[in-house]
Amino acid sequence: MIRIIARENGPLLVEVDGQVQYALCRCGHSEKKPFCSGAHKAVGFKAPEAIIEVAK
């Protein structure tokens, strides 16, 4: 199963068969785009959690 998990106030996680493969920045402040660098915490990024099931 492939899922995209938008973490509350954090990155987009790409999960394959229950294992997180990538953490992608959605706050726009990462120093290592397209990946999350943790900068979302320092800038106070706020966004709701969401889970999208892409494929089984």
Q: CB neighbours of 45 closer than 8 A, spacing ≥ 6? A: 9, 10, 26, 27, 29
Q: Which is nearer to ligand FES, 46 or 56 (CB)?
A: 46
Nearest distance, CB of residue 19 and ligand FES, angstroms? 19
Handedness of CA 27, 28, 29, 30 (dihedral sign): positive
Q: Which is nearer to ligand FES, 5 or 10 (CB)?
A: 10
Q: Going residue by residue from 3 to 42, which x/- string records binding to ligand FES, judged by CB under 6 A?
A: -------xx-------------xxx-xx-----xxxxx--
